[in-house]
Chain A
């Protein structure tokens, strides 16, 4: 490059076009070809995975059901204002409610609205179920409607019921997210739910604490194995590696069930401890259906995910480093701690993040061995997806879990640096 090129601005290619442009053109074909190679997988993931998950997560704020089922009522309610111990809305609102409910009961969608509003206030479900086509049919349209609704259920005159309808009439709601962190919206503002029903924050905290515990036990158990693997001669190392990978070839369910057999009070481990005399027969250890069981079983299941990244990093640390440290006067421990360990940190980083992220979303194992105090937030998500059918809350919990993982990942990146993570 001559100095005149530098003076006249961008570097030009031989034909006078800017070099950057001509480089981009030259690389475009390559890029397109690369893109075509990954296109099938990309489309597959997009259509079957990312879009459905995105939609599912949107349910955490979606609230169209109220304004879609009783649109006129919602509109008429706009002018009404809730006062503690005050009056229910006026006759005009009940007229609109009658219109809306006629259509809703005919389409048989009023019960769905009932269960939706029941998440916000108990009793709403039965209120809407009772207000059915038959009862509405007997209404005398000449008379005021409010008392007739009250005949079906007194609650129709309760201002709090109307407050619930009013405050949930927007098409998006924060209600699921509030519920997911044990908060509720009351006429007095946002408040904590009563202690007996506050479970989600506790579950989130427990999920994180147990996941961290599992990550640490995996590290403590996995580190020596990985070290051994990387220092054994190839033949024995391969055999050991197969033993490490063996659990991968067995069904997760089978392994977890095996732990049930081993850990229960009349199980193999307790029997052995009693036989040795470490534990009294009438005081057998509770190793399962609690947090201990979850930690034991999940440590076993996730251990390979710690060992493999550690092993691949340790394999690249030449033995001459430790030798050099020793020749410089370091004891075995100093040589390990000051020289070997810092170089294995990228492996620890990779293993830890892998195990932690897998653990935080784990569900089958805690479900089977966790009992009541060893279950994770994911078990709750599953419950809301498949049993209580409160998908909005499930989506909110899942979104919070996802955000939590991302935040932890960000902190991790800040502290360890993601470039320091080596998977192989």
Chain B
């Protein structure tokens, strides 16, 4: 580990404290009722309120056109907010030009300056800050070592592979000791294996340096892997802001449930709600129990959401109060680590279950009639969308 990283280790403790006693009012970065419109007719960002703690890794996740990149660009200063206020460390930055914000940024295609060498690229932010030559060189070297690219200072960006360019872009955003680093889909251009590797590297750098990271991606796997919290964007609004685990396990609406991970849906109507249990009459006639999330009234239309890996075909592993339901096997796919089975359940023939390749798993055949079940807590009754 480099000196730089060690020096920042102390901040990691601080970061923990910041996270624990963070409230909406003392965030490092806050969006306060921010709106953005490009054409004066449609709002791309509708009433955004978000507070990001110091040292936090926050991911903005959403489909394209959901407003997440616009939010990032407003924070970086390349777009202005139509309404509302953006604060950095308690100071409104609405009228501060990008170059005075001191925010590091990693761009989608890295935006490494092609006419400069790697070292010149890294020295650029230090040069414009009028830093002396010796100090500059020391910092560039430290930043290159930090991303294990120490030997590449003399190369041009075009002579580097995608992953190497990515590291340089990262080092450049960090070299001037920015406390806040924005990343706009930085791993989008890499192949899957390299992407996963870089995810961990970025994550480790974040932990070592104690910086605050705002990360934009449309890849939910990336968001879940790296983030402290994830803000799921859709239609210009944050649909849910939660740690990855909550987001996956406890989606608050059907958009989030659909967007994060694979998901089976069954349409139905609420019969009655009693505490943590809602009785739901599916459109196909079966009665099942589910956990009510954002449904309140009997008679309301609802969408039941169940994760494929929470569906069991082995009834002995189910709790006593679990419902069983008829299913017909349509397709069975061997995927190596898991088996993926497509079933017809209550009229839905896109119902998928995933089972671990554990050796004793039964191989299901198409046409086979089975009974499946799940714990009531795993069936989440959400708004009908």
Chain A residues at the B interface, C-beta cutoff of 8 Å: 318, 320-321, 323-332, 334-335, 338-339, 342-343
Query: A325 contacts B109, CB within 8 Å?
Result: no
Which of B98, B124, B125, B173 sits near A323, CB closer than 8 Å? Answer: B98
Question: What is the distance, in angstroms, from B379's C-beta to the closest C-beta of chain A?
Answer: 45
Question: What is the distance, in angstroms, from B106's C-beta to the closest C-beta of chain A?
Answer: 9
Closest 5 CB pairs of A and B: A328-B125, A324-B111, A327-B105, A320-B111, A326-B98
Mark out the residues of chain B between 42 and 62 whose CB falls within 8 Å of any chain A CB in the assembled complex. none
* Chain B hits for A321, CB < 8 A: 111, 113
Q: What are 5 sample pairs from A and B whose C-beta atoms fall under 8 A apart?
A: A320-B107, A320-B109, A320-B111, A328-B173, A330-B124
Mark out the residues of chain B between 182 and 204 whose CB falls within 8 Å of any chain A CB in the assembled complex. 182
Q: Which residue of A lies closest to B172 (CB)?
A: A328
Given contacts A329-B125, A329-B129, A330-B99, contact A324 B105 (CB under 8 A): yes
Mark out the residues of chain B between 88 and 114 whose CB falls within 8 Å of any chain A CB in the assembled complex. 97-105, 107-109, 111-114
Question: What is the distance, in angstroms, from B377's C-beta to the closest C-beta of chain A?
Answer: 45
Question: What is the distance, in angstroms, from B99's C-beta to the closest C-beta of chain A?
Answer: 5
Q: Judge whether B176 is part of the interface by a CB distance below 8 angstroms.
A: yes
Query: B104 contacts A330, CB within 8 Å?
Result: no
User: How does the 8 Å CB contact mask read for B306-327 relative to A, with 1 for contact and 0 for none?
Assistant: 0000000000000000000000
Question: What is the distance, in angstroms, from B362's C-beta to the closest C-beta of chain A?
Answer: 50
Given contacts A326-B99, A328-B172, A330-B128, contact A318 B76 (CB under 8 A): no
A330–B111 CA distance with the chains assembled, in angstroms: 14
* Chain A hits for B99, CB < 8 A: 326-332, 335
Q: Which residue of B lies closest to A330 (CB)?
A: B128
Query: A334 contacts B98, CB within 8 Å?
Result: no
* Chain A hits for B105, CB < 8 A: 323-324, 327
Which among A321, A328, A334 has the greatest number of chain B C-beta atoms within 10 A? A328
Which among B97, B113, B176 has the greatest number of chain A C-beta atoms within 10 A? B113
Query: B78 contacts A328, CB within 8 Å?
Result: no
Q: Which residue of A lies closest to B107 (CB)?
A: A320
Interface residues of B: mostly helix, strand, loop or mixed? loop
Question: What is the distance, in angstroms, from A314's C-beta to the closest C-beta of chain B?
Answer: 14
Question: What is the distance, in angstroms, from A270's C-beta to the closest C-beta of chain B?
Answer: 44
Q: Which residue of B lies closest to A331 (CB)?
A: B99
Query: A339 contacts B113, CB within 8 Å?
Result: yes
Given contacts A329-B128, A330-B99, contact A342 B115 (CB under 8 A): yes
Q: Which residue of B lies closest to A340 (CB)?
A: B113
A61–B102 CA distance with the chains assembled, in angstroms: 70
A324–B109 CA distance with the chains assembled, in angstroms: 11
* Chain A hits for B172, CB < 8 A: 328
Q: Which residue of B lies closest to A317 (CB)?
A: B114
* Chain B hits for A331, CB < 8 A: 99, 128
Which of B97, B101, B109, B115 sits near A318, CB closer than 8 Å? Answer: B109
Question: What is the distance, in angstroms, from A420's C-beta to the closest C-beta of chain B?
Answer: 11
Query: A323 contacts B128, CB within 8 Å?
Result: no
Given contacts A334-B128, A338-B124, contact A328 B176 (CB under 8 A): yes
Which of A323, A330, A332 sits near B107, CB closer than 8 Å? Answer: A323
Query: A329 contacts B113, CB within 8 Å?
Result: no
* Chain A hits for B124, CB < 8 A: 325, 328, 330, 338
Question: What is the distance, in angstroms, from B135's C-beta to the closest C-beta of chain A?
Answer: 15
Question: What is the distance, in angstroms, from A337's C-beta to the closest C-beta of chain B?
Answer: 11
* Chain A hits for B115, CB < 8 A: 342-343
Given contacts A323-B98, A334-B128, contact A329 B176 (CB under 8 A): yes
A323–B169 CA distance with the chains assembled, in angstroms: 13
A132–B172 CA distance with the chains assembled, in angstroms: 89
* Chain B hits for A342, CB < 8 A: 115
Which among B77, B125, B172 has the greatest number of chain A C-beta atoms within 10 A? B125
Which of A327, A338, A343 sits near B98, CB closer than 8 Å? Answer: A327
Which among A326, A327, A332, A343 has the greatest number of chain B C-beta atoms within 10 A? A327
A343–B158 CA distance with the chains assembled, in angstroms: 14
User: How does the 8 Å CB contact mask read for B125-152 relative to A, with 1 for contact and 0 for none?
Assistant: 1001100000000000000000000000
Beyond A326-B78, A327-B99, 18 extra complex contacts between A and B, CB < 8 Å: A318-B109, A320-B107, A323-B105, A323-B107, A324-B105, A324-B112, A326-B98, A327-B101, A327-B104, A328-B125, A329-B125, A329-B176, A331-B128, A332-B99, A334-B128, A338-B124, A339-B113, A343-B114
A338–B101 CA distance with the chains assembled, in angstroms: 20
* Chain A hits for B128, CB < 8 A: 328-331, 334
A267–B60 CA distance with the chains assembled, in angstroms: 63
A334–B124 CA distance with the chains assembled, in angstroms: 10
Question: What is the distance, in angstroms, from A146's C-beta to the closest C-beta of chain B?
Answer: 77
* Chain B hits for A328, CB < 8 A: 99, 104, 124-125, 128, 172-173, 176
A342–B112 CA distance with the chains assembled, in angstroms: 13
* Chain A hits for B173, CB < 8 A: 327-328
* Chain B hits for A318, CB < 8 A: 109, 111
* Chain A hits for B114, CB < 8 A: 343
Question: What is the distance, in angstroms, from A25's C-beta to the closest C-beta of chain B?
Answer: 36
A343–B128 CA distance with the chains assembled, in angstroms: 19
Query: B102 contacts A323, CB within 8 Å?
Result: no
Question: What is the distance, in angstroms, from A342's C-beta to the closest C-beta of chain B?
Answer: 5
A343–B98 CA distance with the chains assembled, in angstroms: 22
* Chain A hits for B113, CB < 8 A: 321, 324-325, 339
Q: Which residue of A lies closest to B182 (CB)?
A: A327
A344–B99 CA distance with the chains assembled, in angstroms: 22
Question: What is the distance, in angstroms, from A48's C-beta to the closest C-beta of chain B?
Answer: 44
* Chain B hits for A338, CB < 8 A: 124
Which of B76, B108, B112, B129 sits near A327, CB closer than 8 Å? Answer: B76
Question: What is the distance, in angstroms, from A290's C-beta to the closest C-beta of chain B?
Answer: 41
Question: What is the distance, in angstroms, from B233's C-beta to the closest C-beta of chain A?
Answer: 21
Question: What is the distance, in angstroms, from B344's C-beta to the closest C-beta of chain A?
Answer: 48
Question: What is the distance, in angstroms, from B185's C-beta to the closest C-beta of chain A?
Answer: 12
Question: What is the distance, in angstroms, from B352's C-beta to the closest C-beta of chain A?
Answer: 39
